[in-house]
Chain A
Amino acid sequence: LNLVQRRRLFFGLLAVLACWPLGHLVLVDRYLVNPWELCGFAMYVQPNTLVEVRLFLSSGEVLSPEMLDQTAADALAEYRNRAGILGLLASPDELAQALRRSGHAPEELQIELRRQMIDSRGQLTYRKRMRRF
Chain B
Amino acid sequence: MVDSPALPGFRHPPPTLVVAQLLPFHAAVYGTLMAIDHRALGPIHCAVSLWLAAIAALRFPTLRALPWLACLFLNALVFPEVPNHGYVLGLALLAIALFRADLPDERLVLATGYRYLVGIVFFWSGVQKLWSGTWSQAQFLIYEIGHSARFGQVFAWFTNRSEQRAYRMGGPFLGHGLLVWASNFVWIAEIAIGIGLLLSREVMKKRFAWAALLLLVAVEFVARESVFGLLVVGLLWPTVDKRFSIRWLWILVPIELLAILGRMSLVPGGFH
Whether the Cβ atoms of A6 and B98 lie closer than 8 Å is yes
* A25-B131 in contact (CB<8A): yes
Can you list, as one digit per residue, whether each of B25-61 has a CB less than 8 Å from chain A (1) or not (0)?
Answer: 0000000000000000000000000000000000000
Task: Return the contact of B124 from the options A3, A9, A14, A21 (Cβ within 8 A).
Answer: A21
Which of the segments B4-12, B105-113, B201-209, B261-269 contacts the partner chain? B105-113
Total contacting residues, chain B, CB less than 8 A: 42
Cβ-based interface call for A118 (8 A): yes
Number of A-B contacts (CB under 8 A): 112
Please determine whether B81 and A18 come into contact, CB atoms closer than 8 angstroms: no
CB of A59 closer than 8 Å to a CB of B: no
The answer on a CB contact under 8 Å between A45 and B120 is: no
Interface residues of B in 145-173 (CB under 8 A from A): 147, 170-173
Q: Which of B135-143, B232-240, B249-257 binds A?
A: B135-143
Please give, as numbers and ranges, the residues of chain B lying within 8 Å of A118 by CB-CB distance.
Answer: 134, 139-140, 143, 171, 173
A41 interface residue per 8 A CB criterion: yes
Q: Which residue of A lies closest to B127 (CB)?
A: A21
Q: Does A13 contact B (CB under 8 A)?
A: yes
B128, chain A: closest CB distance, angstroms: 4
Q: Is the interface of B mostly helix, strand, loop or mixed?
A: helix
Contacts of B62 in A (CB 8 A): none
Encode contact with B along A21-59: 1 for CB under 8 Å, 0 otherwise. Answer: 100010000000001111111111111000000000000
A6 & B99 in contact (Cβ 8 Å cutoff): yes
Residue of B nearest to A43 (CB): B84
Determine the chain A residues whose CB is within 8 A of the CB of B140 once the complex forms. 44-47, 118
Q: Shortest distance in angstroms between B62's beta carbon and chain A's nearest beta carbon?
A: 15
Task: State A85–B133 Cα separation when bound (angstroms).
Answer: 21
Q: By the criterion of a CB under 8 Å from any partner CB, how many residues of chain A are at the interface?
A: 36
- The answer to whether A122 and B125 touch (CB under 8 A), given A10-B95, A14-B91, is no
Selected contact of B106 from candidates A3, A44, A86, A122, CB within 8 Å = A3
Whole-angstrom CA separation of A1 from B100 in the bound complex:
13
**What residues of chain A lie closer than 8 Å to B132, measured between beta carbons?**
35, 42, 45-46
A41-B84 in contact (CB<8A):
yes
Q: B128 touching A18 by the CB < 8 A rule?
A: no
The verdict on A77 contacting chain B, using a C-beta distance below 8 Å, is no
The answer, yes or no, to whether B72 is at the interface (CB within 8 Å) is: no
Nearest chain A CB to B259 CB, angstrom units? 17
Among the listed B117, B134, B147, which residue makes an inter-chain contact with A14, where contact means beta carbons less than 8 Å apart? B117
B230 in the interface, Cβ–Cβ < 8 Å?
Answer: no
CA of A5 to CA of B215 in the docked complex: distance in angstroms? 35
Is A17 part of the binding interface, using a Cβ–Cβ cutoff of 8 Å? Answer: yes
Q: Which of A89-133 contact B (CB under 8 A)?
A: 118-124
The answer to whether A122 touches B80, judged by C-beta atoms less than 8 angstroms apart, is no
Please tell me if the beta carbons of A35 and B80 are within 8 angstroms of each other in the complex: no
Are B134 and A45 within 8 A (Cβ)? Answer: yes
- Cα separation A1 to B255 with both chains bound (whole Å): 37
B94 at the interface (CB under 8 A from A): yes
Asked if A122 and B137 make an inter-chain contact with CB atoms under 8 angstroms apart, the answer reads yes
What are 7 contact pairs spanning A and B, CB under 8 A? Answer: A9-B98, A45-B128, A82-B80, A122-B171, A123-B172, A124-B143, A124-B173
- 14 further A-B pairs in the complex, CB-CB below 8 A; given A3-B106, A17-B91, A40-B84: A10-B95, A13-B94, A17-B117, A17-B120, A21-B127, A35-B132, A37-B81, A37-B84, A39-B84, A118-B140, A118-B171, A119-B133, A119-B134, A120-B137
